[in-house]
Amino acid sequence: MNQIQLSDLDVISIAKRAENEYVGVSSGKLDQSCEVYCRKDHLLYLDTADDSYERISASGAMKPYKIAIFFSGVERTLAGSGYNLRVDECKSAAYDLMAFSGMEYGKYADAVLRQVPSEVFEQYKDRLPENFRKRAEHFYGESARVEAGVKAWREGDIETFGQLISQSGHSSIHLYESGSDELRTMYEIMNRTKGIYGGRFSGAGFKGCCMALIDPDYEEEIVQQVTKEYLSAFPKLEGKYSAYICESADGVVMK
């Protein structure tokens, strides 16, 4: 309409603003960036600080994989969850660490852990309130897993990549303390199911879905096993729970 042209970054920024200001969720732009920048059979390596990104193609040495999506049967509503509180806890940890270390800092609303070197966290972490320390430890651990994951992907090591995804899920549960009973149970089921390289709940895990990278040779067995164990734990969700096997795809385009 009106010959308006939007860049990819425009689309991402508008979607983020709608989520922040209209929906009321203090999200970043990870999801929106994935939806716009992703390409089939590529890993999106994204830096949200400067909006730089790289698409890394799957190595020819990589074993076959597909993506499993398990919908818990419980709808996700982040605006009414602990999601925004976790964001505030991370900001508080960053602000405290900058103050303890003598770093320059500005407004609280602008504080992010990305501004604080991991060495500063290691030096002053014991002075943080326990919850703030846990949230920061999750952040620095996730940052390290991203770098390790990129390395594994480049080398075609899907097993290590999957293990890092599962480690991320463990950290989300025990350090970020997110998720719901349903998704935490799903996470445990996935981690003992043969043929799953690795899995975790989607995003912060306040209800919604779990995802996993799987070996296609075990596709049917995985769906059967996860479905059986999950509905055994939550029989009232039969008819609401669902499972899907899919592959990566190109992102959205403006036409």
Distance (Å, rounded) from C-alpha 143 to C-alpha 49? 13
Instruction: Tell me the Ramachandran region of residue 207: left when phi exceeds 0, alpha when psi lies from -120 to 50, beta otherwise.
Output: left
8 A C-beta contact, residue 189 and residue 234 = no
Q: Which residues are catalytic?
A: 31
Using alpha carbons, list the distances in angstroms from residue 104 to 50, 54, 85, 166. 20, 31, 24, 36
Q: Is 70 helix (H, G, I), strand (E, B) or coil?
A: strand
The answer to whether the beta carbons of residues 105 and 95 sit under 8 Å apart is yes
C-alpha dist (Å) from residue 142 to 20, 135, 139: 23, 11, 5
